Amino acid sequence: MSAPKVLFGFHAVGVRLKTAPQSIVEVYFEATRRDARMRQFLEKAAEAGVRLIEADALRIAKLCGSHGHQGVAARVHPLPQTHSLDDLLDAVQGPPLLLVLDGVTDPHNLGACLRVADGAGAHAVIAPKDHAVGINATVAKVASGASETVPYFMVTNLARTLGELKERSIWCMGASDDAPKTLYQADLTVPVALVLGAEGDGMRQLTRKTCDALISIPMRGAVESLNVSVASGIFLYEALRQRG
């Protein structure tokens, strides 16, 4: 079994307690925190039979590398990825909805993208192995449990993966500020992979060239672009709205 990793915050640890309590090595909690939220959390942890360890805030912060832990952290075994991307797509009912992130290296952005992907019912999030951030404790905290529920595939060659999606008749639509067509003019009811780059740089040139079409978010103010997680939410929820 691979080395344990750390989850922190009520949402991230709570989702793991609910979905895979057997993968939890131990839970650390801040003993001085006695509010209702902590009491409910400890009850659930006790019911799940996990090992509970009292700790002070500083020890928990050192364990997870952040002071935003809310008094809760857990050492957990990583969950095995049960499907390959191909297996997952074979099992999808209805038209697939995928989010592809090219060059998102900020863990807060990735966490927020996973959270919105979960909310909109995206089937998976795909990113390149280089030019991307993996799932770490900060990502899991920001994702509020979505890093446990949304399949996240890191692929060796993103352009090749987009080519494979196209072979499956999945339409690859890239988000670009200079695209003449907006997302509201695009048909997102078809099998679709929405491809977004990091703010500032946007998609890499090869990724952009591999897309079937480019679409934009209409901007009415002075700023030129939106944060990638906000843009992901707008695209995914427009697809959800169109799909009825």
Distances, alpha carbon 127 to alpha carbons 124, 141, 177, 195, 211, in Å: 10, 19, 20, 10, 15
Q: What are phi and psi of 38, to 5 degrees?
A: -65, -40
Three-state secondary structure readout of the chain: CCCCEEEECHHHHHHHHHHCHHHEEEEEEECCCCCHHHHHHHHHHHHHCCCEEEECHHHHHHHHCCCCCCCEEEEECCCCCCCCHHHHHHHCCCCCEEEEEECCCCHHHHHHHHHHHHHHCCCEEEEECCCCCCCCHHHHHHCCCHHHHCCEEEECCHHHHHHHHHHCCCEEEEECCCCCCEHHHCCCCCCEEEEEEECCCECCHHHHHHCCEEEECCCCCCCCCCCHHHHHHHHHHHHHHHCC
Whether residue 1 is predicted with pLDDT greater than 60 in this model: the reply is no
List, for residues 144-176, the tens digit of each pLDDT value: 777 777 889 999 999 999 999 999 999 999 999
Domains and CATH numbers, the chain: 5-76 (3.30.1330.30), 85-242 (3.40.1280.10)
d(CA 137, CA 130): 19
Among residues of the chain, what percentage have pLDDT more than 70? 98
d(CA 229, CA 10): 22
Q: Angle CA(237)–CA(239)–CA(243) in degrees, nearest 5?
A: 115
| Predicted TM-score of the model (pTM) | 0.74
pLDDT for res 82? 62
List, for residues 203-242, the tens digit of each pLDDT value: 999 999 999 999 999 999 888 888 999 999 999 999 999 9
Contact between residue 99 and residue 113 where contact means Cβ atoms under 8 Å apart = yes
pLDDT for res 215? 97
